[in-house]
Protein backbone atom coordinates (compact mmCIF):
# COMPACT_ATOMS: atom_id res chain seq x y z
CA UNK A 1 0.00 0.00 0.00
CA UNK A 2 1.48 3.35 -0.99
CA UNK A 3 2.05 6.14 1.49
CA UNK A 4 -0.69 8.25 -0.11
CA UNK A 5 -3.27 5.45 0.21
CA UNK A 6 -2.24 4.86 3.83
CA UNK A 7 -2.80 8.56 4.56
CA UNK A 8 -6.23 8.41 2.92
CA UNK A 9 -7.21 5.34 4.93
CA UNK A 10 -5.86 6.91 8.13
CA UNK A 11 -7.94 10.07 7.54
CA UNK A 12 -11.01 7.93 6.86
CA UNK A 13 -10.49 6.05 10.15
CA UNK A 14 -10.03 9.37 11.97
CA UNK A 15 -13.28 10.67 10.46
CA UNK A 16 -15.22 7.53 11.41
CA UNK A 17 -13.89 7.45 14.97
CA UNK A 18 -14.24 11.18 15.54
CA UNK A 19 -16.06 11.75 18.83
CA UNK A 20 -15.84 8.12 19.96
CA UNK A 21 -14.57 7.92 23.55
CA UNK A 22 -15.14 4.24 24.41
CA UNK A 23 -14.95 1.23 22.12
CA UNK A 24 -14.55 -2.55 22.06
CA UNK A 25 -12.10 -4.36 19.78
CA UNK A 26 -13.12 -7.67 18.25
CA UNK A 27 -11.66 -10.15 15.80
CA UNK A 28 -13.47 -12.51 13.51
CA UNK A 29 -10.93 -14.22 11.25
CA UNK A 30 -12.31 -16.43 8.53
CA UNK A 31 -15.95 -15.38 8.85
CA UNK A 32 -17.69 -15.57 5.49
CA UNK A 33 -19.43 -12.59 3.90
CA UNK A 34 -22.99 -13.70 4.64
CA UNK A 35 -22.26 -14.24 8.33
CA UNK A 36 -20.42 -10.91 8.51
CA UNK A 37 -23.40 -9.16 6.95
CA UNK A 38 -25.71 -10.88 9.45
CA UNK A 39 -23.42 -9.76 12.29
CA UNK A 40 -23.39 -6.15 11.06
CA UNK A 41 -27.19 -6.18 10.74
CA UNK A 42 -27.63 -7.53 14.25
CA UNK A 43 -25.26 -4.90 15.64
CA UNK A 44 -26.92 -2.11 13.64
CA UNK A 45 -30.29 -3.02 15.15
CA UNK A 46 -28.77 -2.16 18.55
CA UNK A 47 -27.27 1.10 17.16
CA UNK A 48 -23.74 -0.36 17.27
CA UNK A 49 -21.24 0.37 14.50
CA UNK A 50 -18.56 -2.11 13.42
CA UNK A 51 -15.52 -0.74 11.57
CA UNK A 52 -12.77 -3.08 10.36
CA UNK A 53 -9.33 -1.46 10.61
CA UNK A 54 -5.72 -2.39 10.20
CA UNK A 55 -3.92 -2.14 13.54
CA UNK A 56 -1.05 0.09 12.41
CA UNK A 57 -3.32 2.52 10.56
CA UNK A 58 -5.76 2.65 13.46
CA UNK A 59 -2.88 3.36 15.83
CA UNK A 60 -1.88 6.32 13.65
CA UNK A 61 -5.46 7.54 13.33
CA UNK A 62 -6.15 7.45 17.07
CA UNK A 63 -2.86 8.94 18.18
CA UNK A 64 -3.52 11.50 20.91
CA UNK A 65 -7.15 10.43 21.48
CA UNK A 66 -8.78 8.42 24.23
CA UNK A 67 -8.94 5.40 21.88
CA UNK A 68 -5.15 5.16 21.46
CA UNK A 69 -4.56 2.72 24.38
CA UNK A 70 -6.87 0.15 22.80
CA UNK A 71 -4.56 -0.43 19.84
CA UNK A 72 -1.31 -0.81 21.81
CA UNK A 73 -1.65 -4.56 22.31
CA UNK A 74 -3.85 -5.35 19.32
CA UNK A 75 -2.59 -7.81 16.74
CA UNK A 76 -3.38 -7.95 13.02
CA UNK A 77 -6.67 -6.80 11.61
CA UNK A 78 -9.28 -5.90 14.19
CA UNK A 79 -12.75 -4.42 14.17
CA UNK A 80 -13.80 -1.52 16.36
CA UNK A 81 -17.31 -1.60 17.81
CA UNK A 82 -18.80 1.58 19.22
CA UNK A 83 -22.19 3.15 19.79
CA UNK A 84 -25.15 1.66 21.59
CA UNK A 85 -27.08 3.38 24.36
CA UNK A 86 -24.08 3.44 26.68
CA UNK A 87 -20.76 1.65 27.00
CA UNK A 88 -22.08 -1.07 29.32
CA UNK A 89 -24.91 -1.99 26.94
CA UNK A 90 -22.39 -2.06 24.08
CA UNK A 91 -20.14 -4.42 26.03
CA UNK A 92 -23.07 -6.63 27.07
CA UNK A 93 -24.11 -7.06 23.43
CA UNK A 94 -20.54 -7.80 22.24
CA UNK A 95 -19.98 -10.35 25.03
CA UNK A 96 -23.35 -11.97 24.25
CA UNK A 97 -22.32 -12.38 20.62
CA UNK A 98 -18.91 -13.69 21.72
CA UNK A 99 -20.63 -16.41 23.76
CA UNK A 100 -23.05 -17.32 20.92
CA UNK A 101 -20.97 -20.01 19.23
CA UNK A 102 -23.87 -21.30 17.10
CA UNK A 103 -24.03 -18.22 14.88
CA UNK A 104 -20.67 -16.50 15.20
CA UNK A 105 -18.14 -19.13 16.17
CA UNK A 106 -14.99 -17.14 15.29
CA UNK A 107 -16.19 -13.82 16.74
CA UNK A 108 -13.95 -12.96 19.72
CA UNK A 109 -13.62 -9.98 22.01
CA UNK A 110 -9.99 -8.93 22.09
CA UNK A 111 -10.08 -5.79 24.23
CA UNK A 112 -11.26 -2.23 24.33
CA UNK A 113 -10.93 1.15 25.89
CA UNK A 114 -13.04 2.84 28.56
CA UNK A 115 -12.39 6.38 29.79
CA UNK A 116 -8.98 6.36 28.10
CA UNK A 117 -7.81 3.15 29.79
CA UNK A 118 -7.14 -0.05 27.87
CA UNK A 119 -9.16 -3.16 28.70
CA UNK A 120 -8.17 -6.71 27.90
CA UNK A 121 -10.73 -9.38 27.00
CA UNK A 122 -11.27 -10.28 30.66
CA UNK A 123 -11.75 -6.61 31.54
CA UNK A 124 -14.42 -6.32 28.86
CA UNK A 125 -16.20 -9.39 30.27
CA UNK A 126 -16.04 -7.87 33.76
CA UNK A 127 -17.64 -4.64 32.50
CA UNK A 128 -20.45 -6.68 30.91
CA UNK A 129 -21.57 -7.71 34.41
CA UNK A 130 -22.14 -4.09 35.46
CA UNK A 131 -25.68 -2.68 35.47
CA UNK A 132 -26.62 -0.73 32.36
CA UNK A 133 -27.62 2.94 32.42
CA UNK A 134 -31.34 2.12 32.63
CA UNK A 135 -30.75 -0.31 35.51
CA UNK A 136 -28.67 2.30 37.35
CA UNK A 137 -31.38 4.94 36.90
CA UNK A 138 -34.09 2.58 38.19
CA UNK A 139 -31.98 1.73 41.26
CA UNK A 140 -31.40 5.44 41.92
CA UNK A 141 -35.10 6.29 41.57
CA UNK A 142 -35.96 3.45 43.95
CA UNK A 143 -33.49 4.77 46.51
CA UNK A 144 -34.84 8.31 46.17
CA UNK A 145 -38.52 7.33 46.43
CA UNK A 146 -38.10 4.67 49.13
CA UNK A 147 -37.84 6.96 52.20
CA UNK A 148 -40.80 9.06 51.07
CA UNK A 149 -42.97 5.97 50.66
CA UNK A 150 -42.00 4.72 54.12
CA UNK A 151 -42.71 8.15 55.66
CA UNK A 152 -46.10 8.32 53.95
CA UNK A 153 -47.00 4.84 55.21
CA UNK A 154 -45.90 5.75 58.74
CA UNK A 155 -48.02 8.92 58.73
CA UNK A 156 -51.14 7.36 57.20
CA UNK A 157 -51.03 4.09 59.17
CA UNK A 158 -52.32 5.37 62.55
CA UNK A 159 -55.07 7.41 60.88
CA UNK A 160 -56.33 4.39 58.97
CA UNK A 161 -56.26 2.30 62.13
CA UNK A 162 -58.27 4.93 64.02
CA UNK A 163 -60.75 5.21 61.14
CA UNK A 164 -61.36 1.44 61.11
CA UNK A 165 -61.92 1.40 64.90
CA UNK A 166 -64.43 4.26 64.70
CA UNK A 167 -66.23 2.45 61.88
CA UNK A 168 -66.45 -0.75 63.96
CA UNK A 169 -67.87 1.15 66.90
CA UNK A 170 -70.37 2.89 64.61
CA UNK A 171 -71.46 -0.43 63.10
CA UNK A 172 -72.04 -1.88 66.59
CA UNK A 173 -74.59 0.86 67.50
CA UNK A 174 -76.99 -0.12 64.72
Residues 23-39: what's their mean pLDDT? 87
Q: Is residue 135 part of a domain?
A: no
Q: Is residue 136 part of a domain?
A: no
In angstroms, rounded to a whole number, what is the distance separating the alpha carbons of residues 126 and 146? 30
Helix, strand, or coil (residue 108): strand
103 and 124 housed in the same domain: yes
For residue 110, the enclosing domain spans: 3-130
Q: Is residue 43 part of a domain?
A: yes
120 and 150 housed in the same domain: no
pTM over 0.95: no
pLDDT for residue 6: 84
From the list 74, 40, 68, the residue with the least C-alpha distance to 54 is: 74
Read off the pLDDT of residues 56-90 as tens digits, 9 standing for 90 and up: 888 888 888 888 888 887 766 788 899 888 888 88
Residues 111-138: what's their mean pLDDT? 85
Q: Is residue 102 part of a domain?
A: yes
75 and 11 housed in the same domain: yes
pLDDT for residue 76: 65
pLDDT for residue 145: 83
pLDDT for residue 173: 62
pLDDT for residue 172 is more than 80: no
101 and 146 housed in the same domain: no
pLDDT for residue 75: 67
Q: Is residue 86 part of a domain?
A: yes
Amino acid sequence: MSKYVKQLVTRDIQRRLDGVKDAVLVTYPGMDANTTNELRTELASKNITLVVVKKSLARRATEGTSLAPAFEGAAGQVAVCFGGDDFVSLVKEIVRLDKDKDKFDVFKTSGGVMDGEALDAEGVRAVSKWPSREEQISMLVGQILGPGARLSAAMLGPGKKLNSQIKQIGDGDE
